[in-house]
Chains A and B, each alone.
Chain A
Amino acid sequence: MSIAVLGVNHRTAPLEVRERFAHALHEVPGALARVLEAGAAGGVLLSTCNRTEFYLAEPQEAVPEAVWTLLGERLSGRGDRGERSAQPYGYAERDRDAVRHLYRVSAGLDSMVLGESQIQGQVRDAWETSRPQAGPVLHRLFQSALLVGARVRTETKLGTGTASVPSAAVAVASKIFGELAGRSALILGAGDMAELAASCLVAEGARVTLVANRTYERARAIAEQLGARALTLDEAWSHFADTDIALCSTAAPHAVVTWERVAPAIAGRGGRPLCILDLAVPRDVEPAVGQLENVFLYDVDDLQAVAGQAAAQRRGEIPAAEHIVNEEVERFWAWYGGLAVVPALKEFRERLDAVRAVEVDRALRRFKHLPPEDREQLDQFSKALLNKFLHEPTVALKAAADRGRGYALLEALKELFGLERGDGP
């Protein structure tokens, strides 16, 4: 019995590699089926933008190869089996280390943004999607991983503060407006970061009312997603008079939001604050705009400074979080060891009983003169003797399992008596 994890993450592979490994939800059952065919009792595939990991119960020797081949195909392109190997980007952990790995992932300890909570939902989704193929051990493992993640977030401050640029943007806007519910936001440009920050603002109750872009079609596509009105950039400047938050993320090589373009509109705001979040590199907003009365201008560096402060605070919580993870790993391993004891003991008993039966049969063949009652007595005697011999080890193994040390003894038992190898009489 064993548990393993094989995969790649943001520490081992760059984005352009990771994005090739990412599996859409509908691809998960097929990928898992291929890996399980190589010999495993259950599997869960966790695939996010930062990681693709196969969690496997009782994997056979051929399984790692199957995983790297499957990922290698995605790296090389469809129908191009194994030309490029995925293994150099990957890692593998077994048993306790595999359990610890999942618990750290679920707690946000292994995330790119330390302590981020999105991963917990992704672990849950992976478990839900893979449930038919997970098997009881991984079912229990993922259930406990979610509890560990929740416990770490409740008992430590690992999840507090704003540790990413989009969440820092929300924090800064919140320091100006308090509640963001009902605040209007204007998006300038169609960058991914602006879209992400906009979704964070919307999650806080802000309304994206306008989306402006150099090309009207692209603006309309995003505006439709957000229930906003699309504009061209030239139409946007006058709306600086009434919006509360402006999110800028165009791909322009120079500043597009200049003093001349927006100062007249801002002058008509009547002292209401305007928060401009410039997420573009190079910057979209001329620094002079930030000098206007009641305008609060922040660029990516400013927001990274806010996020960096939170990250520093979160780093201080790592020892407490790791302590919880280690505690829960031991708890799971105690359960897992106990789970393994029952079938192993059964096999152990059956193996010795088979030896006993063979030896009794051999003896009875030599004592053909014995009447049936005596033959029966001899058989009973051998059974009683076997039970006496097995009593102490059985009790000791069950007690060790209760104390969470069953797995080690079990391994010794398997090694000594050749269990699971098919050795024997």
Chain B
Amino acid sequence: MLVYLHLAALGLYGLSAALALAPFAGFPVASRRWTLWVAGVGAGIHTVGVAQLSLVGTGPALSVLAWCLVLLQIGSELLLRAAAVALFTAPLAGGLVGLALLLGLAPGAQPSAGRNMWFILHVTLSVLGLALLALAFISAALYLLQFRELKAKRFGQVFQLFPPLERLDRLNHVALVAGFPALTVGVLLAVGYAVRYAGGMHVDPAQLVWGSFTWGVLGWTVWVRVARHWAGRRAAFASIVGFAAVVLVYVALKLAQPGTERFL
């Protein structure tokens, strides 16, 4: 059942990606209602699947990340009419769900019943923080693409279909400002979980390094935006560099410690 739900979500995310990419292949732009409906139904089915996951292991973590990304895609479209976000989120979510299916959706041991709530909140908030950092990266990438087209006076598909610069900058700002507290609470819950149930701070070094690094990167991007008033292109570059660094460090740590039982 879990696999079928993920397969259905994968199909709808694929359709959502196809609808987002269609205008760039010369097809007409799909209506807003239709794109929202496809992503919404996909997210709905995926929600049922995510509710059945143990949340332990790489596969489930990727599935939750994909779910958060699609929810953020829908939120961006509804609140800021940033439909172009789907150009990145829909294929990314589809890819993550596909990868989760390949790696296995229930690879590891279940956390004990008493620890479940801590664990669910830790995973959900941490992954949400990561997804918001990804959204900041996506809005930054869209910003730079639109900026380049506007500067170069090219009035093609990017000019017509991408949101205005200021709206993308606001989306980047909101994603970072919302992502930092989510990740902070997620990390604090991990610390609390370790102290309460693992008898102290006996955390895997890779988890500690990556968690701290990601938190530090997200904190820095928020700091430069809020305290240093970075905006526009400079803030976009900061988000892209930050997200790329987080992904690269994760890949490096995962290569050093292969296995799908744990996220890291």
B220 contacts A by Cβ under 8 Å: no
A178 near B155 with CB under 8 A, answer: no
Number of A-B contacts (CB under 8 A): 43
How distant is the Cα of A305 from the Cα of B155 in the complex, in angstroms?
A: 8
Q: Are B166 and A294 in contact (CB under 8 A)?
A: no
CA separation between A175 and B155, bound complex, in Å?
A: 10
The residues of A that contact B153 with a CB separation of less than 8 Å are 298, 302, 305
The listed residue (A175, A270, A271, A306) touching B164 by CB distance below 8 A is A175
Q: In the complex, are the beta carbons of A296 and B150 less than 8 A apart?
A: yes
Query: Could you say which of B151, B155, B166, B230 has the most chain A C-beta atoms within 10 Å of its C-beta?
Result: B155
1/0 per residue, CB under 8 A from B, across A127-169: the answer is 0000000000000000000000000000000000000000000
Q: Verify if B35 is at the interface (C-beta below 8 Å from A).
A: no
Smallest beta-carbon distance A205→chain B, Å: 14
A176 at the interface (CB under 8 A from B): yes
Question: When chains A and B are docked, how far (Å) is the Cα of A290 from the Cα of B151?
Answer: 8
A175 with B150: CB separation less than 8 A: yes
A68 to B155, CA, bound (A): 46
**B146:A175 contact, CB within 8 angstroms:** yes
Say yes or no: is B159 at the interface (Cβ < 8 Å to chain A). Answer: yes
Q: When the two chains form their complex, are residues B229 and A273 in contact, meaning their CB atoms are under 8 A apart?
A: no
User: Interface on chain B toward A: helix, strand, loop, or mixed SS?
Assistant: helix
Does A177 interact with chain B (Cβ within 8 Å)?
yes
Q: Is the CB of A174 within 8 A of B232?
A: no
> Is A309 part of the contact surface with B, judged by Cβ < 8 Å?
yes
CB of B254 closer than 8 Å to a CB of A: no
B231 contacts A by Cβ under 8 Å: yes
B91 at the interface (CB under 8 A from A): no
Closest to A176 in B: B165
* Chain B residue contacts of A290, Cβ below 8 A: 151
Which chain A residues border B164 with CB–CB below 8 Å? Answer: 174-178
Q: Across the interface, name the chain B residue whose C-beta is closest to A275.
A: B150
CA distance A175 to B153 in the complex (A): 12
**Could you say which of A273, A293, A296 has the most chain B C-beta atoms within 10 Å of its C-beta?**
A273
Per-position 1/0 for B146-184, Cβ under 8 A of A: 100011010100010001111100000000000000000
Q: How far is the CB of B233 from chain A (nearest CB, A)?
A: 7
Chain A residues within an 8 Å CB radius of B232: 271-273, 294
Residue of B nearest to A168 (CB): B155
Nearest residue (CB) in A for B235 is A271
A172 to B152, CA, bound (A): 13
For residue A273, which residues in chain B have a CB less than 8 angstroms away from its CB? 165-166, 232
A275 to B162, CA, bound (A): 18
Interface residue ranges of A243-285 to B (CB < 8 Å):
270-273
Contact (A271, B231) CB under 8 Å given A176-B150, A296-B150, A298-B153: yes
Q: Which residue of B lies closest to A302 (CB)?
A: B153
- For the complex, is B32 an interface residue (Cβ under 8 Å from A)? no
Are A270 and B229 in contact, with the CB atoms below 8 A?
Answer: yes
**8 Å CB contacts to B: which residues of A169-193?**
172, 174-178
| Residues in B whose Cβ lies below 8 Å from that of A270 | 229
Q: Are B151 and A178 in contact (CB under 8 A)?
A: no
Are A176 and B166 neighbours in the complex by a CB distance under 8 Å?
yes
Bound-state Cα–Cα, A272 to B235, Å: 12
Residues of B near A176 (CB, < 8 A) are 150, 164-166
A175 to B232, CA, bound (A): 14
Q: Given contacts A271-B231, A309-B155, list 18 more A-B pairs with CB under 8 A.
A: A174-B164, A175-B146, A175-B150, A175-B165, A176-B165, A176-B166, A177-B165, A178-B163, A178-B164, A178-B167, A271-B230, A271-B234, A272-B231, A272-B232, A273-B232, A290-B151, A298-B153, A302-B153
Q: Which residues of B contact A (CB under 8 A)?
A: 146, 150-151, 153, 155, 159, 163-167, 229-234
Interface of A toward B, CB cutoff 8 Å = 172, 174-178, 270-273, 290, 293-294, 296, 298, 302, 305-306, 309
The 9 closest A-B pairs by CB, nearest first: A178-B164, A178-B167, A178-B166, A271-B232, A302-B153, A306-B155, A175-B164, A177-B166, A176-B165
**25 contacting pairs across A/B (C-beta < 8 A):** A175-B159, A175-B164, A176-B150, A176-B164, A177-B164, A177-B165, A177-B166, A178-B163, A178-B164, A178-B166, A178-B167, A270-B229, A271-B230, A271-B231, A271-B232, A272-B231, A272-B232, A293-B233, A294-B233, A296-B150, A298-B153, A302-B153, A305-B153, A305-B155, A309-B155
